[in-house]
């Protein structure tokens, strides 16, 4: 026996004198979602006060179009807080490893909001509402087993700029510097006409338009008309704009009706349609900033007008929506329709999601080949090949 035994080491625990549990070093799932939601609302409030922020959100949505509008805003906000470039391509830690790239030492994760799902059978009762919607997700199987969204969590991801490893070409968000293939606009027009057919609308290129408008949508006749006098750029932009109307502003648009949108395409409905067109064209390398400015300049006024309409329409059964609620809804509607369109038009690049890539503008070239377009950033093993900033 040791004549001079050493006292056993003691672990000290900080105890709240009021008897509360020790503060966790990392937020729990519910707290993480609450913090992300709070940050999203702060960013959208800023976008209403400063319409230039709406443009930045649309630019980021064109780059990260495979993500929801809310998650695009969250990624943009977190990268801006760190003083770095805008996010261009994000994935989880293990997903980067599977593609031969590794997160740099000292980098902190970005967080997006992802659903928590649980498998259910036909006999299982419906779970309580998560507050974000409970649409069941059908999965392959015997037709009886499905999964349902039962909650939300913060999912850790990293931008490509936080990684190193196998060289990877990532398109920047600078369409103004991208000399577009002359055939690209014609191909985009053909792709958009395919979207019209999928929506079961008829497309007419007309010599005369009601009220001399560049385009209009007739829901009753399921008709989209575009002016024949427009040049190809304007014709493509007008068709994307009208496709947004055809998708969003149908009679009986329950969500838009909450804040005053209507089938007449007034107010915020025009902002939504032009924002969809802006995102789709920008993702395809076409900058419509100057042309869209007249529409998008009224973003803040349209939000405030919709808020006032919501207050006037409010009742005990239907609480009025705040300007931030309306901005969040608008962003979600715009990015959802833009994504649906681009799943058919298929712009080049990844759409922000690793492992899902559209056609490359450099077929047959490797990442290290000479002549790589300088509007694509080459992310290499330690540092990036210098080129136009991805910040846009």
Identify the pLDDT of residue 139: 38
Identify the pLDDT of residue 208: 76
| Token code pair at residue 147 | 């999964």
Q: Which residue has the higher pLDDT, 122 or 29?
A: 29
Which residues pair with residue 203 across a beta bridge? Answer: 224
Give the tens place of pLDDT for each residue, 177-216: 455 677 888 999 999 999 999 999 999 998 876 666 889 8
Beta strands 163-165 and 168-171 are unpaired
Asked if residues 56 and 76 have their Cβ atoms less than 8 Å apart, the reply is yes
Helix axes 289-296, 51-63, angle to 10 degrees: 130
Domain locations in the chain?
A: 29-171, 175-345
Which contacts (CB < 8 Å, 24+ apart) does range 257-266 have? 258/310, 258/313, 258/318, 258/321, 258/329, 259/306, 259/307, 259/309, 259/310, 259/321, 259/326, 259/329, 260/305, 260/306, 260/309, 260/310, 260/313, 261/306, 263/219, 265/217
Average pLDDT over residues 230-246: 93
Band of residue 367 on the pLDDT scale cut at 50, 70, 90? very low
Identify the pLDDT of residue 358: 56
Average pLDDT over residues 226-243: 93
Identify the pLDDT of residue 295: 74
**This prediction's pTM:** 0.77
Which residues pair with residue 147 across a beta bridge? Answer: 119, 137
Identify the pLDDT of residue 309: 78
Given a cut of 90, is residue 333 above it in pLDDT? yes
Backbone CA torsion sign across 255, 257, 262, 266: negative
Band of residue 363 on the pLDDT scale cut at 50, 70, 90? very low
Tell me the average pLDDT of the chain: 76
**Lowest model confidence (mean pLDDT) among 110-119, 124-133, 146-155, 255-264:** 124-133
Q: Which residue has the higher pLDDT, 388 or 140?
A: 140
Identify the pLDDT of residue 322: 87
Identify the pLDDT of residue 96: 94
Asked if residues 35 and 27 have their Cβ atoms less than 8 Å apart, the reply is yes
CA distance 204 to 185: 18
CA distance 256 to 260: 6
CA distance 289 to 269: 19
């Amino acid at each position: 026996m040791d004549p001079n035994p050493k006292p056993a080491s003691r672990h000290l625990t900080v105890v709240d004198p009021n008897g509360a549990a020790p503060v966790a070093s990392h937020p729990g799932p519910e707290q993480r979602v609450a913090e992300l939601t709070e940050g999203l609302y702060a960013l959208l409030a800023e976008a209403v006060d400063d319409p230039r922020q709406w443009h930045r959100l649309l630019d980021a949505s064109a780059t990260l179009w495979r993500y929801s509008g809310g998650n695009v805003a969250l990624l943009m906000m977190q990268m801006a807080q760190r003083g770095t470039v805008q996010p261009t391509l994000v994935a989880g830690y293990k997903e980067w490893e599977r593609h031969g790239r590794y997160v740099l030492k000292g980098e902190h994760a970005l967080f997006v909001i992802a659903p928590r799902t649980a498998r259910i059978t036909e006999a299982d009762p419906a779970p309580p509402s998560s507050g974000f919607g409970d649409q069941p997700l059908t999965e392959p199987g015997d037709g009886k087993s499905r999964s349902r969204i039962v909650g939300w969590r913060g999912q850790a991801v990293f931008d490509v700029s936080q990684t190193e490893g196998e060289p990877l070409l990532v398109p920047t968000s600078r369409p103004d510097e991208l000399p577009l293939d002359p055939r690209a606009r014609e191909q985009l027009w053909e792709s958009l006409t395919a979207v019209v057919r999928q929506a079961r609308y008829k497309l007419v290129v007309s010599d005369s338009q009601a009220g001399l408008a560049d385009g209009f949508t007739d829901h009753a006749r399921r008709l989209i008309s575009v002016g024949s006098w427009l040049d190809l750029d304007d014709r493509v932009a007008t068709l994307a704009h009208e496709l947004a109307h055809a998708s969003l502003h149908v009679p009986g648009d329950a969500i838009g009706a909450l804040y005053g949108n209507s089938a007449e395409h007034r107010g915020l409905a025009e902002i939504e349609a032009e924002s969809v067109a802006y995102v789709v064209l920008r993702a395809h390398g076409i900058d419509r900033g100057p042309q869209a400015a007249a529409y998008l300049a009224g973003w803040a006024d349209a939000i405030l007008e919709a808020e006032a309409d919501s207050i006037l329409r409010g009742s005990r059964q239907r609480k009025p929506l705040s300007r931030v609620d309306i901005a969040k809804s608008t962003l979600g509607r715009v990015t959802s329709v833009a994504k649906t369109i681009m799943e058919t038009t298929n712009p080049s690049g990844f759409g922000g999601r690793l492992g899902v890539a559209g056609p490359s503008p450099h077929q047959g070239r490797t990442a290290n080949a000479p002549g790589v377009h300088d509007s694509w950033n080459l992310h290499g093993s330690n540092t990036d090949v210098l080129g136009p900033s991805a910040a846009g």
